[in-house]
Structure 1
Amino acid sequence: MLQNQSIIPDIKAIIATAKDKAVKAVDNERTIMYWNIGQRIFEEEQQGKDRADYGTYLIKFLSEQLLPEYGSGYSVRQLERYRQFYRTFPIASALRTQLSWTHYKSLLVLDNPDKKEFYIAETVKNNWSSRQLERQINSSLYERLLMSSDRKDVLAVARNEKLPSDAREIIKDPMFLEFLDLKRETSYYERDLESAIITHLQDFLLELGNGFAFVARQKRIHIDGDDFFVDLVFYNRLLQCFVIIEIKTEKLTHQDIGQLQMYVNYYDRVEKTQNENPTIGILLCAKKNDGVVKFSLPEDNKNIIASQYHLYLPTEKQLLEEVKKELESFEEENDNQE
């Protein structure tokens, strides 16, 4: 009989680690190979730049020669992508080993350099899979953060050049919860939405942002004989504070804000230690009136945030319209203060 029962899981862990490293090494070599192919195509194009159609002819010719032997990875579309890869990332040593070719394919569609740099930094920092990166791009994460923070701050936080000093630098409004698989035409009770979030907790943490950890669901608070139950409690290690989330499936009211403020006050006075920062409260609501939020809270409020949720991903046009509207509102507010 084995003296040490841990040998089997230990060996399995060694095998899994080695396999993972081998897959990453192969994918990294593949990425470099595609970059080199793109570079060679670009250099050849420059030799025939006096012919307007030479680039199109070259890629078509290469595809006809390579496709029968090497397969669909050398179609006209793929070869054009390799060329674009080289032109977008012209320095091979600057390629991130943490990013696979699938990551880079998603990044190639981005035409804004700041946006591209943001997604690269966030992918490396959070070890996003290619699927997670694609989802964040499709949910317009960069634009949503711009709604409540400065472009330089968004990039600085992504690059780890600064820690977020304000919850709004990492908490999004709106939030997109398409991964819950709830039909938007249907009405839901708050407990239904809460249960769906717990079922898809990993995806919800990704949507919440950097540094979040789950603490409790329906946390009981006992105050002078009365019991209250907080929907969801998280902790953020970057902000070093508790984050309370209350779910509202109807339009937000000032009473909802008051209820959340009570929970935040309780956590600040009972649960928070001296080394931790003030508690943050998030009202996750189906609809909100920004005016009600504004006048229900103190002018210097930084700890209560109302975030509207959507059960589907927006189109880029819809999101850009929201960003434009939010920025115009922000500028108008600043003008009035001046």
Structure 2
Amino acid sequence: MNIDQAVITDIKSIIVKSREKAIRSVDYERSLMYWQIGRRIFEEEQKGQERAEYGNYLTKFIAEQLEPEYGSGFSKRQVELFRQFYRTFPIANTLYSQLSWSQYKLLIRLGSADKISFYIAETIKNNYTVRQLERQIHSNLWERLISKNNKENVLSVARSEKPLSDASEIIKDPMYLEFLGLHREASYYERNMEQAIITHLHDFLLEMGNGFAFVARQKRLHIEGDEFFIDLVFYNRLLQCFVIIEIKTTKLTHQDIGQLQMYVNYYDRYEKKDFEKPTIGILLCAEKNNAVVKISLPEDNKTIFASEYKLYLPTEQQLIAEMEKEIAKTKDGSDLKNG
């Protein structure tokens, strides 16, 4: 008896979805259990506020009573996390069934309510795994976006409260490409990085952000007998436009900007449909001079962007230094213009 393969495919899909739903349900109940334990610890702690170090004594005492019977999941450090979990999310109805306890452990260490809200929205929208969420946090996604955008806009886009209307709301500078496996001390050509991006396309799309889809590499253009090749072409379904990426493993020059502008113009005139938005161009470079970029582009530019790439994830000190440098550059530019 021949059974239609479509039936088997559908049944397998039902099994997989049901198992995933069961796992999420169990994990949610576990998170809710930890929240309830955290609430009980917090309530007891408030009774002994007049006693110095009572909180530390309480978590230690609870761990000593629970760990021998229930295992290392109830160590003193874990018990302290339960308390912190409740204090971060004091309303049970604000817990999300889409998030695992492992993801909550990453979130409650962030401190800032806005940052937590942002990563929750991004995790749910993009269905991040624990590893992907951890990588986005360690790459300082939140800080990179708000360094050049209004914080409220970034949150609104993440929560899907408003449609994405400006490319600057999702394009990151710098971009962290540690997953490519390229050594920052070594010299390499654009084609090496291009191939590495294609090999790690899934991770690159994750770094690029929401709505990106791969279209082509080394896209050939014929212009009056001359041939040109665009490194990478993507499409962003949220912005409804093509996104062209040119790779430069050296310092960015104004000639590079001119070349990318030509590619963007070509796509706008010969590839873009009437219902689509203007093409976006991104110069992914090893180094750039922001003043050169600004002077090379119109003041109202919204289509050409230059982003430095980094082959390693930043430390917190490096991020702070970068943000302070950008603030200083902005101030100097304003003073120059006003002068």
CA shift digits 1:282-317 (9 cap, x unpaired): 000011111221121122111110000000001011
Q: Normalization by structure 1: what TM-score?
A: 0.96
Aligned partner of 2:72 in structure 1 is 72
Give how far 1:272 is off.
0.3
Pairing 1:121–2:121 present:
yes
The 1:106–1:3 alpha-carbon spacing in structure 2 relative to 1, beyond 3 Å, is: closer
Give how far 1:181 is off.
1.4
Give how far 1:239 is off.
1.0
Aligned length: 338
**Seq. identity, %:** 67
Give how far 1:147 is off.
2.1
Aligned partner of 1:222 in structure 2 is 222
Aligned partner of 2:205 in structure 1 is 205
CA shift digits 1:150-197 (9 cap, x unpaired): 112111211212223221110000000011111111111111101111
Partners of 2:204 and 2:5 in 1: CA distance: 37
CA shift digits 1:228-261 (9 cap, x unpaired): 1111100111111100000011111111111111
Aligned partner of 2:132 in structure 1 is 132
Partners of 1:3 and 1:11 in 2: CA distance: 12
Partners of 1:89 and 1:5 in 2: CA distance: 47
Aligned partner of 1:16 in structure 2 is 16
Pairing 1:240–2:236 present:
no
Instruction: Give the 3-state SS of the residue equivalent to 1:247 in structure 2.
Output: strand
The ranges of structure 1 where at least 4 consecutive aligned residues each deviate by more than 6 angstroms after the TM superposition are none
CA shift digits 1:126-156 (9 cap, x unpaired): 2211211111110011111122211121112
- Write out aligned runs for 1:102-121 (5 A): 102-121=102-121
Partners of 2:148 and 2:58 in 1: CA distance: 47
- Write out aligned runs for 1:152-301 (5 A): 152-301=152-301
Partners of 2:74 and 2:159 in 1: CA distance: 35
The 1:185–1:240 alpha-carbon spacing in structure 2 relative to 1, beyond 3 Å, is: same
The 1:334–1:124 alpha-carbon spacing in structure 2 relative to 1, beyond 3 Å, is: farther
Partners of 2:322 and 2:202 in 1: CA distance: 27
Partners of 1:244 and 1:50 in 2: CA distance: 62
Aligned partner of 1:95 in structure 2 is 95
Partners of 1:74 and 1:190 in 2: CA distance: 51
CA shift digits 1:96-154 (9 cap, x unpaired): 12111111111111122211211112112222112111111100111111222111211
Instruction: Give the 3-state SS of the residue equivalent to 2:40 in structure 1.
Output: helix
Partners of 1:112 and 1:4 in 2: CA distance: 53
Partners of 1:328 and 1:98 in 2: CA distance: 41
Most deviating of 59-68 and 30-39: 59-68
CA shift digits 1:68-121 (9 cap, x unpaired): 111110000000000000011100001112111111111111122211211112
| Contact 1:230 1:263 (8 Å CA) reproduced | yes
Aligned partner of 1:57 in structure 2 is 57
Most deviating of 169-178 and 328-337: 328-337
| Contact 1:285 1:309 (8 Å CA) reproduced | yes
| Contact 1:284 1:309 (8 Å CA) reproduced | yes
Most deviating of 216-225 and 303-312: 216-225
Specify every segment of 5 or more residues in structure 2 that has no aligned partner in the other structure, as ranges: none
| Contact 1:139 1:313 (8 Å CA) reproduced | yes
CA shift digits 1:308-328 (9 cap, x unpaired): 000000101111111122123
Most deviating of 119-128 and 91-100: 119-128
Aligned partner of 1:149 in structure 2 is 149
